[in-house]
Amino acid sequence: MSTDMRTTASTCCYCGVGCGVLIEHDGERIHNVAGDPEHPANHGRLCSKGSTLHLTGDRDARARYPELRLGKTLARSRCDWDAVLEHAASVFAETIAEHGPDSVAFYVSGQLLTEDYYAFNKLARALVGTNNIDSNSRLCMSSAVVGYKRSLGADAPPCSYEDLEQADVVLIAGSNMAYAHPVLFRRLEAAKAARPGMQVIVVDPRRTDTAELADLHLALRPGSDVALFHGLLHLLLREGWTDRAFIAAHTEGFAALEALVRDFTPARVAELCGIRVEQLLACARMIGLAPSLLSLWCMGLNQSTAGSAKNSALINLHLATGQIGRPGTGPFSLTGQPNAMGGRETGTLANLLPGHRDAADLAHRAEVAAYWGVERLPQTPGLTAVELFEAVRDGRIKALWIACTNPAQSLPDQARIHEALAACPFVVVQEAFATTETCRHADLLLPAASWGEKEGTVTNSERRISPVRAAIPAPGEARPDWAIACDFARRLERRLRPGQPSLFAFERAEQLYDEYRPLTAGRDLDYSGLSRALLERLGPQQWPFRLASGQGTPRLYADGRFPTESGRARFVADAFRLPAEGPDADFPLILNSGRLRDQWHGMSRTGTAARLFGHVEQALLGLHPDDLACQGLADGDLVRVRSRRASLVLPVQADASLQPGQAFLPMHWGDRFLAGLGVNALSSPACDPLSRQPELKHAAVAVERIDLSWQFFALVEGPVQRHLDALRPLFDGFAYASFALAGRERAALVIRAAAATAPPAALLEAIDRRLGLLQGPVLAYDDPRRGVGKRVRLQDGRLLALRLAGETAARDWLKGVWERGSVEADLRRWLLAPLSAPPGATLAADPTLCNCLNVGRGAVCAGIARGLDLDGLKRTLGCGTSCGSCVPEIKRLLVQQPLAESA
């Protein structure tokens, strides 16, 4: 270990909480991370993902050099930056010349920094002259954008995290913040513990860890949120719990809404939402009598064909009760990505322009064009994510630039996305991780610097701008995203604007920030007053931060004035509409999606840290136990789950947190980890009419048993990413194939697969070769007639690799043997036997519950059985004492276990 250890303060790259992290490094490698006690978002806390950032540095997963291919059937080969960017500029210039500026498109990411966004926006709109620049925030926050803009006049969450501590009633709708925004959830838990009078309402079809904190959990029918909010307003009106004075003074459009909600009677709403009338009444009472009401929401509202309506319907409640603009109040959208807010600010959605402007607004276009010194900005509306890839597929888009996002995992209806990418004449992928599904389709792969390696700023959910700082150099020839965009832009300029001064003369990230900042002046988000120097001096600041005021703004609309033309907030009276796909006889279940506690997005980063697979190690389809029983299915059985678009094969898991009729699949598993194009092969591309956000959380599916009697399990220690790269293609022909990492100090790749019949011997041999099981000190068992073959490689008394084919009964305890390290002599003779547990021993696989302290679920259950309570468990096992992400689950076990024992 180097003695020259330094600390660099930066911001976490996962969710929109925007926690400050202190990076411990030696200038070459990041050795550890810690929460920044000075940062107002987290006060030193980190969640299970943030606290393991230093474990996600596997260089094998990284793109390190530019790679180019000149034909779709060729492999990419390494080239130099100069050559590849010249080539890209030529292709883009030629395409624009031949087919017009709207024949090219940029698809970027909520994980880019504000400076990166600005560069891409200027590149697309000012230089290329297209509005075809959209972001994966389209899948995440665009309904919230529409909601805020329609209801309040600007895309600005009016609250601060401090409101969590000050609210009397907190309404959490469509958010499993215990998993998605753990550090905020910790704040909420602490606040509720300190002020037991605080009431928490959770609206979620699933009984999530978040719901465990709730005083009232409304397990509503998926997609019925608008009916619920209208029904609540109906009751607020009936009981006289609205704030007539506020409505009169600060809002408009209430009459239409009042008329609309008249029909949302409690009985009807209870029916529509699948809840009891008493629950609805209880909820209305809590809201109506709340001294202060804070609402928090996330993808449950946004990822919907009624996403905009849901957002506005929720905001309606705040306006009707006057619960906005005061401490502990307000409609507070939780942002999914670390800088989706920055993307919205810089105009990085097809319909936006920098400074919260609209691309459709002539005056806004003129303002920005003038600032940039170009004649005009394009008028043609840009394509939003789903439409954009449809245009790629049908050939309208001929050159596509993708940066820092993985559409071949994250967009709905993946078969079409893969078709589109395969058909597109020129695909540029600018990526830090070469392992993403999208990289497979790259004609040009550009290596990007990633977290810990680049400079810039991000804005979190509470409008707080924080610096992101570099601690170590990027690997290989990787460069910051803004630098790549600007380098390319300068080359394209020479072709499109020969002889004119460059629009992209940026050498440092700060220059981009400085050029961008004045574009916010006079707008709702105005942070023209916050220079980088000031940011450094004052620390993270909340916008608006006007030049005149010289300080940030914790809370908006305290004066009851809203950034609309009339200065009044608007009630939005949207009808209740059902989701695009209802359950029917052919597709009787509704598939929901969401996060796992320890994974993030498409797993390009979290998928490099073996430890983060400890909590949930494979893709499982959750179904209510009754639905399993109905079909005669048992936990772990393989099923084919079909939607109208595709089908996937994976194991089922009994999940009592679901309602009957609902299925759940974590959003993270892409084709790299789950063969069959991953979970979004199933999801629906139907979009909200206003926000164009797809309904990723609501697809009708059918589940049927699939009999794949030939089962496969393999585990190999060593360079996991290289193993995965080499082995993954060999499993394309399997009906089921799932990949995961395992381990803590040592990492291994774990493969689970199944097929109707045994694969050809040559394929198995190729797999064995890669697993290191073809030769050498390998235990072998073969029954070719049954298609059963098993291999175990031992070295120095340790298990290094194993492969079970045909039958895999011993997989779990063999994995346990690997995790423990040594193989006991008396176990040896059973290593290849078809036993689901080793004779005499208790080596059952134990999923990790507390990832920080590595405490298994079994150990916690045993502790509970001994009579330990939460504090006792924390004291004796240490679980839940670090990041706290596992505490809700421990609490649930504490509640469940005595019941399980008395049953």
Partner 1 sequence: MNRPRLVVIGNGMAGVRTLEELLALAPALYDITVFGAEPHPNYNRILLSPVLAGEQGFADIVLNDLEWYRHHGIDLRLGRQVVRIDRARRRVIADDGSEAEYDRLLIATGSSPFILPVPGNELDGVIGYRDIADTQAMLEAARTHRHAVVVGGGLLGLEAANGLARRGMQVTVVHLGEWLLERQLDRTAGELLQQTLQARGLTFRLAAQTEALLDDGQGRVAALRLASGETLPAELVVMAAGIRPNAGLAEAAGLPCARGILVDDTLQTFDPRIYAVGECASHRGVAYGLVAPLYEQARVCANHLARLGHVRYPGSVTATRLKVTGIELFSAGDFSGADGSETITLSDPFEGVYKKLVIKDDVLVGACLYGDTADSAWYLRQLREGQRIGEVRDLLMFGALAPAAAGEVAP
Q: Could you tell me which stretch among 21-29, 221-229, 476-484, 785-793 binds partner 1 (CB under 8 A)?
A: 785-793
Strand partners, 218: 203
CB of 831 to partner 1, least distance (A): 9
769 makes contact with partner 1 (CB under 8 A): no
Q: Which is nearer to partner 1, 278 or 826 (CB)?
A: 826
Q: Beta strand 293-297 with 638-643: parallel, antiparallel or unpaired?
A: unpaired
Identified binder of partner 1 from the candidate list 74, 780, 865, 895, rule CB under 8 A: 780
Q: Which two tokens stand for residue 748?
A: 């291994």
The one among 32, 94, 661, 781 contacting partner 1 by CB under 8 A: 781
- CB of 81 or CB of 830, closer to partner 1: 830
Residue 6 or 786: the one with the smaller Cβ distance to partner 1 is 786
Q: How far is the CB of 815 from partner 1 (least distance, A)?
A: 16
Contact mark string toward partner 1, 790..829, x via CB under 8 A: ----x------------x--------------------xx
Containing 391, the helix (H) or strand (E) segment is helix 385-393
Q: Does 777 bind partner 1 (CB under 8 A)?
A: yes
- Part of the chain binding partner 1 (CB under 8 A), chosen from 222-230, 312-320, 673-681, 836-844: 836-844
The tokens describing 756, both together, are 């109707």
Binding mask 222-241 for partner 1 (x = CB under 8 A): --------------------
CB of 660 or CB of 797, closer to partner 1: 797
Residue type at 749? L
Separation CA 278–CA 267 (nearest Å):
10
Asked if residue 779 binds partner 1 (CB under 8 A), the reply is: yes
Nearest to 14 by CA among 202, 164, 184, 207: 184
247: enclosing H helix or E strand: helix 244-250
If one asks whether residue 845 binds partner 1 (CB under 8 A), the answer comes out as no
- Told to check if 783 binds partner 1 by CB under 8 A, we report yes
Q: Which of 5, 833, 862, 900 binds partner 1 (CB under 8 A)?
A: 833
Name the minimum Å distance from CB 807 to partner 1. 6
Which residues, 6+ apart, have CB-to-CB distance to 185 below 8 Å? 177, 178, 210, 213, 888
The minimum distance between CB 90 and partner 1, in angstroms, equals 58
The dihedral over CA atoms of 841, 842, 845, 851, expressed in degrees to the nearest 10, equals: -130
Minimum distance from residue 457 beta carbon to partner 1 (Å): 57
Minimum CB separation of residue 773 from partner 1 in Å reads 12
Is 654 a residue that touches partner 1 (CB under 8 A)? no
Which of these ranges, 182-190, 195-203, 417-425, 830-838, lies near partner 1 under the rule CB under 8 A? 830-838
Of positions 536, 584, 785, 903, contacts partner 1 by CB under 8 A: 785
Crossing angle of the two packed helices 481-496 and 114-121, in degrees rounded to 10:
10
757 binds partner 1 (CB under 8 A): no
CB of 792 vs partner 1, minimal distance in Å: 9
- Tracing tokens 């080969």 back to the chain, one arrives at 77
Amino acid at 378: P
Distances (CA, A) of 491 to 82, 428, 480, 762: 10, 15, 17, 49
Distance CA 349, CA 244 (A): 37
Smallest separation (angstroms) from partner 1 to the CB of 834? 4
CA pair distance 374, 377, nearest whole angstrom: 8
Q: What are the two backbone dihedrals, phi and then psi, of residue 588, each rounded to the nearest 5 degrees?
A: -80, -10
Kindly indicate which of the ranges 162-170, 464-472, 577-585, 837-845 contains the residues binding partner 1, using the contact rule CB under 8 A. 837-845
Instruction: For helices 225-239 and 254-261, give the axis angle rounded to 10 degrees.
Output: 100
Q: Minimal distance in Å, beta carbon 621 to partner 1?
A: 23
518 to 547, contacts with partner 1 by CB under 8 A? none
List 830, 853, 858, 891, residue binding partner 1 (CB under 8 A): 830
CB of 800 to partner 1, least distance (A): 13
Nearest CB to partner 1, comparing residues 464 and 791: 791
Q: Does 832 bind partner 1 (CB under 8 A)?
A: yes
Residue showing tokens 């030629």: 94
Nearer Cβ to partner 1 (74/900): 900
DSSP labels, 228-286: HHHHHHHHHHHHT-S-HHHHHHHEE-HHHHHHHHTT--HHHHHHHHT--HHHHHHHHHH
Residue among 216 and 841 whose Cβ is closer to partner 1: 841
Nearer to partner 1, 2 or 836 (CB): 836
Which helix (H) or strand (E) segment holds residue 819: the answer is: helix 811-820
CA distance 493 to 621: 50
In angstroms, what is the minimal distance from the CB of 635 to partner 1?
12
Cα distance between residue 516 and residue 535, in whole Å:
15
Among residues 446 and 827, whose Cβ is nearest to partner 1? 827
Nearest to 267 by CA among 238, 301, 295, 308: 238
C-alpha closest to that of 24 among 42, 47, 1: 1
Q: How far is the CB of 845 from partner 1 (least distance, A)?
A: 13
Cβ neighbourhood burial of 797 (10 Å; 0-12, 13-18, 19+): exposed
Minimum distance from residue 718 beta carbon to partner 1 (Å) = 20
Q: Judged by CB under 8 A, does residue 835 bind partner 1?
A: yes
Question: Which amino acid type is present at position 847?
Answer: P
Report 390-419 residues binding partner 1 (CB under 8 A). none
Verify binding: residue 840, partner 1, rule CB under 8 A. Answer: yes
Contact 766, 745 (CB under 8 A): no
Q: Which of 115, 97, 95 is nearest to 105 (CA)?
A: 95
Work out how close the CB of 788 gets to partner 1 at its nearest, in angstroms, rounded to a whole number: 7
User: Helix (H, G, I), strand (E, B), or coil: what is residue 496?
Assistant: helix
Determine the interface stretch with partner 1 among 332-340, 388-396, 786-794, 869-877 (rule: CB under 8 A). 786-794
Please report, to the nearest 10 degrees, the dihedral formed by the alpha carbons of residues 11, 13, 17, 19 taken in order.
-30
Please tell me the distance from the alpha carbon of residue 156 to that of residue 298, in angstroms, as a whole number.
15
CB of 780 to partner 1, least distance (A): 5
Least distance between partner 1 and beta carbon 839 (Å) = 4
* Residue 478 interacts with partner 1 (CB under 8 A): yes or no: no
836 binds partner 1 (CB under 8 A): yes
CB-wise, 38 or 783, nearer to partner 1?
Answer: 783
Name the segment binding partner 1 (CB under 8 A); options: 130-138, 241-249, 544-552, 781-789: 781-789
Taking alpha carbons only, the member of 482, 598, 583 closest to residue 47 is 598
User: How far, in Å, are 287, 540, 882 from residue 170 at the CA level?
Assistant: 9, 26, 25
Note whether 385 and 138 are within 8 A (CB).
yes
Complex with partner 1: residue 682 or 794, whichever CB lies closer: 794
Q: Is 81 in the site for partner 1 (CB under 8 A)?
A: no
Where do the DSSP E strands lie in 300-421? 330-333, 352-353, 357-358, 399-403
**Closer CB to partner 1, residue 630 or residue 835?**
835
886 contact partners, CB below 8 Å, separation of at least 6:
48, 597, 849, 850, 851, 855, 879, 880
Q: How many residues bind partner 1 (CB under 8 A)?
A: 24
Residue 782 beta carbon to partner 1: minimum distance, rounded to whole angstroms: 5
Q: Is the peptide bond before 544 cis (omega within 30 degrees of 0)?
A: yes
When the beta carbons of 255 and 634 are compared against partner 1, the nearer one is 634
Q: Shortest distance, CB of residue 622 to partner 1, whole angstroms?
A: 23
Question: In which residue are the tokens 């049954």 written?
Answer: 786
Nearer to partner 1 among residue 582 and residue 839 (C-beta): 839
| Burial class for 197, CB neighbours closer than 10 Å (0-12, 13-18, 19+) | exposed
Binding site for partner 1 (CB under 8 A): 777-786, 788, 794, 807, 828-830, 832-837, 839-840
